[in-house]
Amino acid sequence: MGHVNLLVVSAPESPELEVLKRLPAGVNVVAVGRSSSDFSHLTDEQWASVNVLLNCGVGKNAAKRDDIAVSTQLLMHDSPSQALLYAHYKIS
């Protein structure tokens, strides 16, 4: 797949995210958050670079149905240079 730019929809304090510290070379975590405001700092270039979306977490840290709005924003974003290649959803 080449270089992976990962957007993670989850509470930043979720213990499951520890695994992200051990990602292989070539995987870049663009941002971690649950709400649109958590991702408001992303530039158009950063949004366009995301090619993998991970929606995760467990219990109180889980991404909720309403958090899907973030992934919808990404999917609807005008991205001429990059396309979303993979999305993983775990809805609680």
Q: Is the pLDDT of residue 92 over 80?
A: no
Question: 34 or 77: whose pLDDT is higher?
Answer: 34
Q: Are 30 and 6 in contact (CB under 8 A)?
A: yes
Q: What pLDDT digit, counting tens, does each position of 27-69 carry?
A: 999 999 887 788 889 888 888 888 888 887 666 666 666 666 6
What SS3 string covers 35-80? Answer: CHHHHCCCCHHHHHHCCEEEECCCHHHCCCHHHHHHHHHHHHCCCC
Q: Which fold has domain 4-89?
A: Rossmann fold (3.40.50)
What is residue 22's predicted lDDT score, i.e. its pLDDT? Answer: 92
Go through the chain and tell me how many residues it has. 92
What is residue 26's predicted lDDT score, i.e. its pLDDT? Answer: 93
When pLDDT is averaged across residues 11-17 and rounded to a whole number, the result is 85
Give the CB-side neighbour count of residue 69, counting CA atoms within 13 A: 11
Domain ranges of the chain: 4-89
